[in-house]
Amino acid sequence: MKFDLVFKGIFSAMFLASIMRISTPLILPALGGLITELSGSINIALEGVMLTSAFTGVVVSAFTQNVWLGVLAGIIAGILFSALLAYFHLYLETNIILAGTALNIMATGGTIFLLYILTGDKGNSSSLASKMVPVVEIPFIKDIPVLGTVLSGHNIFVYAAIVLTFLTSVLLYNTKFGVHLRAVGENPTAATSLGIPVKKIKFTAILISGFLASLGGLNLSMAYLSIFQREMTAGRGFIALAAVYLGGRRPWGTFLAAILFGAADALSNQLGTLDIPSQWVQVIPYAITIIALVVYGIQRKAQIVEQTRRFQERELAKVNNNHTTT
Amino acid sequence: MRKFFSNPAVRETLRVIIAVSIALALGFLVTLFVSEDPFGAYKAFLLGPLSKFNRFGDWIEESITLILVGLSVAIAFRANMFSMGTEGQLLLGALVSGSIALFVPLPTILRIPLAIAAAMAAGFIWGWIPGYLKAHLDANEIVSTLMLNAIALKMYDYFLIFHIKAPDAGYNASDFFPVEGSLPSFIPNIPIFERAYALFSDKTNITIMVYVLIIAVIAAYYLIYRTPFGYKLRMVGANIKFARYGGIDTKKTMILVFAISGIFGGLAGAHLSMAIHTKLIANISVGMGFEGIVVAILAKINPLLIPITGLAYGYLRAGANVMERSSDMSREMIFVIQALIILFVTAERFLPTIQKRVEERKENNSHAEKIAPSDGGSHEV
Amino acid sequence: MALLVDMRNIVKVYSNGVVANNGVNFQIEKGEIHAIVGENGAGKTTLMKILYGLEQPTSGEIFIKGEKVEFKNPINAMKKGVGMVHQNFMQVPSFTVAENIVLGNEPTEHLFLDKKKSIEITEELSRRYGLFVEPAAVTETINVGMRQRIEILKILYLGVEILILDEPTAVLTPQETKDLFEAVRVLVEQGKTIIFITHKLREVKEISDRVTVMRNGKIMGTMQTSEATRGGLARMMVGREVFLDIKKTKMKRGNKKMVVKDLSYVSDTGRTMLRDVSFNLYSGEILGVAGVEGNGQTELVEVLTGLRIPAAGQATVGGGVVTGKTPREVRMAGVAHIPEDRLTNGLAVSASIDDNLIVDRFFNPPFRKGVTIDYEEIEKNGEEMIKEFGILTPNGQLPVSSLSGGNMQKVVVAREFSSEPKILVAAQPTRGIDVGATEFIREQLVQKRTDGAAILLISADLAEVMSLSDRIITMFEGEITGVFPDASTIEEDELGYYMLGIKRQSKKEMEALL
């Protein structure tokens, strides 16, 4: 009986729509992680960026009673936070993992600290009258039966996520900056030999990832929920990194991988009513990522062995020919 | 005077001290603005753990966990393996030890060692996995350990919610561990130690884990500096090509490094469950794994210094707790201070910047003046 | 004809005191193909690095087309028309050919990349200079010849007029070399000027107009290629200016210690680095390998010491195979190895001297006692070695990084020698170190040989090879071209011919002597 309902629930438009909403705060930081990854840095501070922007957005929107000022403030806060990471890593030569971990700790603690000061509450910001971003109803589409529910009626960040994935792809593959960024990440010596400023590009990449991640954070506190909660990012910054690898380090792959994580989350909620522990389903994307790592590793090994074998065969054939002719 | 300052050990210590001082000063600045009684609040922060026995106990307890995770991280980082996996090892260690403490019908004398051993084993396995993946498949250990952390958390939550917690419990936590599964105090309740017991055991929660910790620190030190495995670990960390050239089986070493680092992580989990909380709760780890990274780095990944940095870090945390309880400042401020300390201490160019520039300029000048006669030595030109 | 490039009185002294260029005057005329030849250490690479802006001269001036220039970096040089085609390609493997060629100066339309234009540019350049490439191919999948053409097209795109090619045929197959030479001729027809660094005299004769010979940081002579003979060039290149006075007792050769048979090795770019290499090592004898670097010596060493697996053939010690085994197994068989790059393989610079001295024996007594390591013994060992090998350091617990180059090498030597090896493979044992350490290490090598070890000595320093070795083999392009049973009776010119592939002994001639 229940199974019936759940089954219907999963294959409903509402469910697909919920996947979109749940995946958005994963897609956005994942895109940021992708950009830094391709420039040769691991941005382990996405978590901190998201918390910082989520918090700033809520506070500023509450005090100015203007949702857009809140969003702007959140973005600026996120970018400044990332600038700290970039500065410590690129100019003061701190190991990026250490700097990132430090900044994450600072963000986690700092946001709770400031929350307490501003509201006297350490749990969430419900006492603040913060704003939520608008929901978009697309004119014609919203009236189409199934598609309407899935595509229309989302908050702006959901659409932003899709558009930004596209823009990220354009940036990376269709602009000079993107080419230089990828060159810096893959062969910095070659880039330097051609006059490409490696440090400047890495710095910019970190700032861009800050921008993207901050949108993800704002999404959490001003769209998904209407408040800031302590530690509300719940590891999304790290899942974002996993999505980058799972997605083969390409924009749409990352997008899909993030959706996979989001879908597992959504699914686990549905199945919860069937008394299937949500954890079983939530674990799936993580397990898949590890399996992907394993498969990739095996593939690469086989590739190398195969390549060497083929070349060796070819060369020995040549050598043998020489022998027989001389 | 100059010679004193050019000694690297002196410089390093100076740098840590300066970094800590700046961070604490900044923290005080913040307190000035925020608190109604900044001096009182900061005094509670800086002196709190020493003021009362239970606060002192608090400090020691926090430090034990921190030292254990610090050791876990240090073992891996020492071999140049950036394992982020302590968090997951910690969770599984807590889960396993907690389960045994709650459910295995053995007398204390057997139950507790079993729980601890099981936690160590769980950590070992959870460390072995990314180690194997890295050694044989060259899998990125940062991603694999982060994933395993997440999986461990799901496993922990699942078992806690669906199998361990009492069915009618309000929130996600187990019952308190029974006496047989609780760690006894570090001073036994016998006549000879009456006075000490009254002073320490009554007022603090310090358990026998403190002895386990001491053994763990000594074991870690011995392992890294006094065993063949430790030698292999250090050589792999210093130059893996050299290790291979010299005959060391780098793959096997790598795997063991991760696995042994996991043992310490599991142990930390056992401490969390059986000493600090004496039950299993949701969110038991609260990012301890990452704080372990901080403790290890501040100690320059030297196992002998980790107890010091662990205690220092633990002191900050305990002080923050006191501050929160006795003033209007919230304890989270210390996270900001911690972060600042890390950033300043690990910024390679932080203090040496000025000194380095002076040295670089000197080198450039002498370079231009020197024209040595040809001596025919081999040099790749 | 106006001078295109005029380098006057170039002196380059490195911070370790080595004089790489000692008053070099070098001129290039427009439209010529000019070869620079010399052994390793002759100074040709340094001179070109200076011209190309990667290094700055200690003194001297450079004029391009009559205008004085100072190149602080390669970008400056390229702006003035000088470009270098490196041996290590400066390419992004995942990019397409076209993307790599225009990298850094991509054509754009408004804000976006004009990919079509990149391909057009590539095709146009390719056509104009006769350098065939596939614009849309992914760089990491194409062969080495095409990858090199990308490097060339890349600098042509930036408008260079003078192309410096650094040992361009080192990575090419014979067919690819032919194609390259065709391309070079087309480039010249199109008004470019080519300088190329090489040690392959056959190629010099084939392609260049003029040739300059360098030796020991000086120019030995410049001439029209048509007037030069390979022999004459070899004589100018190879010479012993430093007379090494090394006292050696007469060799007493003992048993065969290592048998190397038909060793072949193919790199993963498909080049054959070793081809049917066979020889024997005898106890009490130093077998020297004379040859210009890059002719397979590195690969030979790594195959014999467990760091690489051969494609064919094997080496045996006392009947047991040692190729295709782990470094530990090779060492257990009694083979010690002084690596050519001590910083990469031979030492862990951040670890202590004591630790570096025991990496091959830490698991044996007296260093290991059960499950622990005895540091007292390790420090004692360190003390002894420091004394015995004259390592300049207050104590053995300091990191290796605190030592000078020569002393670092002494640590390597101390370790490898003290393992009482049956066979010692020594690659460039005195490279980059001071005179005192050099003398010491050479003496030690000879002593070890007199004591009965079988030593394989590989060195780019011909003087060293000739003075230290009892028997010499020459290697060229991965093959053994000659074997000389008595090193004291051979002339360096003669050796030079065999090292440079001008002369070759037949297999039959060599069989008995290897």
Pairwise CB contact (< 8 Å): C266 & A175: no
Mutation test of the interface with chain C: which of A171, A311, A324, choosing the one with the most C Cβ atoms within 10 A?
A: A311
Q: In angstroms, what separates the C-alpha of A297 from chain C's closest C-alpha?
A: 18
Residues C262-312: tens digit of each pLDDT: 899 887 666 788 988 999 999 999 999 998 888 899 999 999 999 998 988
Instruction: State the Cα–Cα distance between residues C36 and C56, nearest whole angstrom.
Output: 20
Residue B162, pLDDT > 90, answer no
pLDDT tens for B185-243 read 777 777 777 777 776 766 677 888 889 999 999 999 999 999 999 999 999 999 999 99
CB C211 within 8 A of CB C34: yes
CB C482 within 8 A of CB C476: no
Reference A240, options A29, A51, A22, A52; nearest CA is A29
Q: Is A191 in the same domain as A286?
A: no
A137/A48 same-domain check? yes
CB contact under 8 A, B342 and A101: yes
SS (H, E, C) B117-131: HHHHHHHHHHHHHHH
| Per-residue pLDDT at A52 exceeds 80 | yes
Q: What are phi and psi of C168, to 5 degrees?
A: -65, -30
Residue B374 pLDDT greater than 50, yes or no: no
CB-based contact, B195 to chain C, within 8 Å: no
- Per the DSSP assignment, residues forming a β-bridge with C475 are C480
The span from the CA of C488 to the CA of C449, in Å, is 16
Q: Are residues A285 and A270 in the same domain?
A: no
CB contact under 8 A, B228 and C22: no
Same structural domain for residues A56 and A151?
yes
Determine which of B286-300, B367-381, C349-363 has the lowest per-residue pLDDT on average.
Answer: B367-381
Better-predicted residue by pLDDT, C438 or B116: B116
- State which residue of chain A sits closest to C101, comparing Cα positions: A194
The set of residues, in sequence order, having a beta carbon less than 8 Å from that of A80 and lying 6+ positions away, is A210
C22 in reach of chain B (CB within 8 A): yes
Nearest in space to C163 (alpha carbons), one of C143, C144, C186, C140: C186
Q: Which amino acid appears at position A155 of this protein? A: N
Structure tokens at A21: 């909403």
Say yes or no: A72 and A111 in one domain: yes
Query: Can you spell out the DSSP letters for C224-252?
Result: EGGG--HHHHHHHH----SPP----PPP-
CB-based contact (8 Å) between A279 and chain B? yes
CB atoms under 10 Å from CB of A97, counted, come to: 19
Express each pLDDT in A94-118 by its tens digit.
888 888 988 998 999 899 988 988 8
Would you say residue A270 has pLDDT above 80?
Answer: no
Pairing outcome for strands C423-427 and C335-338: parallel
Q: Report the neighbours of B using a cutoff of 3 or more CB pairs below 8 angstroms.
A: A, C
A147 and A255 in a single domain? The answer is: yes
Q: Walk me through the domains of chain C, giving residue ranges and CATH numbers.
A: 3-237 (3.40.50.300), 246-334+421-514 (3.40.50.300), 341-420 (no CATH)
Question: What CATH number does the domain containing A212 carry?
Answer: 1.10.3470
CA angle at residue C361 from C359 to C363, to 5 degrees?
A: 105
Q: Which two tokens stand for residue B264?
A: 């310490």
Give strand pairing partners of B299: none
- Write the single-letter amino acid at C482: G
pLDDT band of residue B265 (cuts 50, 70, 90) is: very high
Residue A217 in contact with residue A54, Cβ under 8 Å?
A: yes
Same domain, A76 and A94: yes
- pTM value? 0.84
Nearest chain C Cα distance for residue B240, angstroms: 8
C27 φ, ψ to 5°? -125, 145
Residues A201 and A312 in one domain: no
pLDDT of residue A325: 46
- The answer to whether residue A309 scores a pLDDT higher than 70 is yes
Q: What is the DSSP letter of C489?
A: G
Q: How far apart are CA A65 and CA A59, in angstroms?
A: 9
What does residue A74 show for φ and ψ, rounded to 5 degrees?
-65, -40
What local confidence, expressed as pLDDT, does residue B173 receive?
84
- Chains touching chain A at 3 or more Cβ pairs under 8 angstroms? B, C
Count of B-C CB contacts under 8 Å? 131
Q: Is the pLDDT of residue A277 over 90?
A: no
Q: What is the residue whose two structure tokens read 């210009």?
A: C292
CB atoms closer than 10 angstroms to residue A243 = 30
At residue A12, the pLDDT reads 77
Contacts of C11 in chain B (CB under 8 A): 371
Say how far apart CA C162 and CA C153 lie, in whole Å.
Answer: 13
A110 touches chain B (CB under 8 A): yes
Q: Which residue among A176, A190, A304 sits closest to C92, beta carbon to beta carbon?
A: A190
Contact residues on chain A for B293, CB-CB shorter than 8 A: 97-98, 101
Model pLDDT for residues B11-26, shown as the tens digit of each residue: 777 877 888 888 888 8
Residue A156 sits in the same domain as residue A304 = no
The answer to whether B251 contacts chain C (CB < 8 Å) is no
Q: pLDDT of C467-479, one tens digit each? A: 899 999 999 989 9
ipTM of the complex: 0.83
- The mean pLDDT value of chain C amounts to 88
Question: Where is C123: in which H helix or E strand?
Answer: helix C115-129
Q: How confident is the model at residue B372 (pLDDT cuts 50, 70, 90)?
A: very low
> CB of B130 within 8 A of CB of B83?
yes
Quick one: closest CA in C to A305, which residue? C268
Name the residue ranges covered by the structural domains of chain B: 59-326
Q: What is the mean pLDDT of residues C42-66?
A: 89
Closest chain C residue to B239, measured at CA: C348
Q: Which of A93, A280, A296 sits opposite B349 (nearest CB)?
A: A93
Domain ranges, residue A185:
2-276
Contact C365, C381 (CB under 8 A): no
Distance CA C183, CA C253 (A): 52
Domain match, A75 and A138 both: yes
pLDDT tens-digit series, residues A144-154: 777 777 778 88
| CB proximity C49 to A under 8 Å | no
Is the pLDDT score of B356 beyond 80? no
How many residues comprise chain B? Answer: 381
**Chain C CB within 8 Å of residue B349 CB:** no
List, as ranges, residues 249-278 from C with C-beta within 8 Å of B.
none
Task: Report d(CA B19, CA B346) in Å as an integer.
Answer: 10
Domain count for chain A, please give it: 2
Query: How many Å apart are CA B90 and CA B64, to the nearest integer?
Result: 13
Instruction: Compute CA distances A104 → A235, C105, C382, whole Å.
Output: 11, 38, 45
Alpha carbons within 13 A on the beta-carbon side of C424: 32
* Chain centroid offset of residue C170 CA: 11
| pLDDT higher than threshold 90 for residue A129 | no
User: pLDDT: is C255 or B187 the higher one?
Assistant: C255
Q: Which helix (H) or strand (E) holds C275?
A: strand C272-282
Q: How confident is the model at residue B379 (pLDDT cuts 50, 70, 90)?
A: very low
What span, in angstroms and rounded, lies between the C-alpha atoms of A222 and A227?
7
Domain identity same for A147 and A161:
yes
The helix (run of H) or strand (run of E) holding residue C23 is: strand C19-29
Is B361 a residue whose pLDDT tops 80?
no
- In chain A, which residues have their Cβ closer than 8 Å to the Cβ of B136? 297
Chains with 3+ CB–CB pairs under 8 A to C are A, B
Residue type, B314: G
The predicted-structure confidence for B30-68, as pLDDT tens digits, reads as follows 888 888 888 888 888 888 888 887 788 888 988 999 999
Q: Do B335 and A108 touch (CB under 8 A)?
A: yes
Q: Indicate whether B369 pLDDT > 80.
A: no
What is the C-alpha to C-alpha distance for residues A222 and A20, in angstroms, rounded to an integer?
A: 16
Q: Which of B78, B232, B242 to mutate to test the interface with C (most CBs of C within 10 A)?
A: B242
User: Measuring CA to CA, which residue among C509, C448, C502 is closest to residue C230?
Assistant: C502
Query: Residues C278, C263: contact at Cβ < 8 Å?
Result: yes
d(CA B270, CA C266): 54
- Tokens representing residue C178 in the block: 């032919």
Question: How many other β-carbons are positioned within 10 Å of the β-carbon of residue A221?
Answer: 31
Are the CB atoms for B266 and B123 separated by under 8 Å?
yes
Euclidean distance between the first and the last CA atom of chain C, given in angstroms as a whole number: 52
Taking an 8 Å cut-off on Cβ atoms, the answer to whether A311 and C91 are in contact is no
Residue listed under structure tokens 């390979």? C230
Q: Is the pLDDT of residue B367 over 70?
A: no
Q: Which long-range contacts does A169-175 make (Cβ < 8 Å, 24+ apart)?
A: A169/A250, A169/A251, A169/A252, A170/C112, A171/A35, A172/A35, A172/A38, A172/A251, A173/C113, A174/C112, A174/C113, A174/C115, A175/C111, A175/C112, A175/C113
Chain C residues close to B238, C-beta within 8 Å:
348-351
What's the rounded mean pLDDT across residues C213-241? 84
Higher-confidence position of A73 and B330: A73
Cross-chain Cβ contact A176/C108 below 8 Å: yes
A302 and A224 in one domain?
no
Nearest-by-Cβ selection for A195 from C75, C92, C312: C75
Lookup result for tokens 């960026």: A49
